[in-house]
């Protein structure tokens, strides 16, 4: 497939990043992953808004976002993804500078911009049957609201889940549920949706926002409030939501079976609305 790299469209195996790029040296950058449903980009504006915010919070020069947007569309065309289930990956780093130094390089350094696309197989089995998740102490930094490319804790958390025959790890900080390694967490109790409030400890997920809107439209009350780890067993239903997992039911948390151990009716209703929306939204 073709990729976009600093203004050029080139074969992705011809993209080479300098060892002096600050993304390589310090994970000094931000990224977005955007979903294509049958070739249609979902919530692209929200992803660009969040990318801009992440870059500003990191004090990285914001590249021309209109050009990046155009490049995303061009890659979809050039890579024949106009009808495909796929992902677009956008990464911006602070740029390349020699010698290695922690503090910011001079102002004239240009950010490195990389965009790629790939085919994506929706996780239908998990969406249908539900998944097991683990609860683990949150080992991440305190700016999880920034979609930074520094993902090592998330890598370790996800690996632990996989090694434990689970699908996702949900981070717990000071006894409170935060979010997953690549997902947000929601629970249903007595017909109400409860999800942890936005803070510097969780990412403002775009799927989370869509799910909140869906609940509003369905008349399901939404409470954005802290969830204590010990209280997780009050939930009738739980789910993880995110760009790559859509709305995926949780049927087990550690050794505790959620509800009847099968996806519940509220989760199903939200899923149905979600999939209607992704096919209709531009
Ligand atoms: C830590 C974290 N939380 C939540 C999410 C879900 O966000 P979104 O719905 O925007 O994909 C992600 C997505 O990758 C994530 O990395």
CA distance 272 to 263: 13
**Which pLDDT score, from 0 to 100, does residue 279 have?**
87
Task: Give me the helix-helix angle, 44-57 and 206-218, nearest 10°.
Answer: 130
What is the average pLDDT across 83-109? 96
Q: Whose CA is nearest to atom 1 of ligand 1?
A: 182
Q: So where are the chain's domains? A: 2-119, 124-280
Which atom of ligand 1 approaches the CA of 207 most closely?
9
From the options 3.30.470.10, 1.20.58.220, 3.30.9.100, 3.30.230.70, give the CATH code of 2-119: 3.30.470.10
Which ligand 1 atom sits closest to the C-alpha of 244? 11
- For residue 101, report the distance from its CA to the centre of ligand 1, in Å: 30
Q: Can you give the length of the chain in residues?
A: 282
Mean pLDDT of the 242-248 span: 98
pLDDT band at residue 280 using 50, 70 and 90 as cut-offs:
confident
Asked whether the predicted pLDDT for residue 270 surpasses 60, the reply is yes
Q: What is the pLDDT of residues 11-66, one digit of tens each?
A: 999 999 999 999 999 999 999 999 999 999 999 999 999 999 999 999 999 999 99
Q: Which of 147, 160, 189, 228 is catalytic?
A: 147
Give the residues surrounding ligand 1 with Cβ less than 6 Å away: 179, 182-184, 203, 205-208, 242-243
Separation of CA 107 and ligand 1 centre (Å): 31
Q: Copy the structure tokens of residue 85.
A: 């289930």
Give the model's pLDDT for residue 281.
59
Average model confidence (pLDDT) for the chain? 97
What SS3 class is residue 31? strand
First to last CA, the chain: 24
For residue 195, give the H/E element and its range. strand 192-195
Q: Is the pLDDT of residue 68 over 80?
A: yes
DSSP annotation string for 232-250: GGG-SEEEEEETTTEEEEE
The percentage of the chain sitting over the pLDDT mark of 70, rounded to a whole number, equals 99
Looking at the CA of residue 210, tell me the nearest atom of ligand 1.
9
Q: How far is the CA of 6 from the centre of ligand 1 (A)?
A: 25
Shortest-distance Cα residue to atom 16 of ligand 1: 182
- CATH code given to domain 124-280: 3.20.10.10
Alpha carbon of 264 to ligand 1 centroid (Å) = 23
- Whether the pLDDT of residue 133 is over 70: the answer is yes
Q: Is 147 a catalytic residue?
A: yes
Q: Each residue of 175-229: pLDDT tens digit? A: 999 999 999 999 999 999 999 999 999 999 999 999 999 999 999 999 999 999 9
The predicted model gives 132-145 an average pLDDT of 98
User: Within a 10 A sphere around the Cβ of 105, how many other Cβ atoms?
Assistant: 16
Of 250, 146, 161, give the one whose Cα is nearest residue 202.
146
pLDDT at 282: 52
Q: What is the mean pLDDT of residues 136-151?
A: 98
Angle, CA of 262, 274 and 149, to the nearest 5° = 95
Residue nearest to atom 14 of ligand 1 (CA): 182
Report the predicted TM-score, pTM, of the whole model to 2 decimal places.
0.97
Residues 164-175: tens digit of each pLDDT: 999 999 999 999
* Tally of CA atoms within 13 A in the half-sphere of 24 that contains its CB: 13
**In sequence order, what are the beta bridge partners of 174?**
none
Residue of minimum CA distance from atom 13 in ligand 1? 182
What pLDDT score was predicted for residue 84? 97
Residue identifier of the C-alpha nearest atom 5 of ligand 1: 183
For residue 77, the CA-to-ligand 1 centroid distance in Å is 26
How many percent of the chain have pLDDT more than 90? 98
């Amino acid at each position: 497939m073709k990729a976009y790299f600093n203004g050029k469209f080139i074969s992705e195996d011809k993209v080479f990043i300098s060892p002096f790029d600050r993304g390589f040296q310090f994970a000094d950058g931000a990224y977005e992953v955007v979903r294509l449903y049958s070739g249609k980009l979902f919530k692209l504006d929200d992803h660009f808004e969040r990318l801009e915010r992440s870059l500003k919070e990191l004090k990285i020069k914001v590249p021309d976002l209109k050009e990046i947007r155009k490049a995303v569309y061009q890659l979809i065309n050039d890579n024949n993804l106009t009808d495909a289930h796929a992902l677009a990956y956008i990464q911006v780093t602070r740029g390349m500078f020699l010698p290695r130094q922690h503090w910011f390089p001079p102002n004239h350094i240009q950010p490195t911009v990389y965009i790629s696309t790939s085919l994506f197989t929706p996780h239908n089995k998990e969406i249908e049957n539900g998944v097991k998740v683990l609860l683990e102490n949150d080992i991440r930094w305190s700016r999880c609201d920034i979609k930074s490319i520094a993902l090592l804790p998330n890598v370790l958390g996800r690996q632990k889940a996989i090694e434990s025959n689970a699908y996702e790890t949900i981070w717990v900080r000071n006894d409170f549920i935060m979010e997953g390694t690549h997902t947000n967490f929601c629970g249903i109790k007595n017909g109400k949706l409860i999800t942890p409030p936005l803070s510097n400890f969780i990412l403002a997920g775009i799927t989370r926002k869509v799910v909140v809107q869906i609940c509003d439209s369905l008349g399901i009350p939404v409470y954005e409030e802290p969830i204590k780890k010990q209280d997780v067993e009050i939930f009738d239903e739980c789910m993880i939501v995110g760009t790559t997992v859509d709305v995926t039911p949780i049927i087990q948390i550690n050794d505790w079976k959620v509800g009847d151990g099968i996806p519940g009716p509220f989760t199903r209703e939200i899923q149905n609305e979600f999939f209607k929306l992704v096919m209709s939204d531009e």
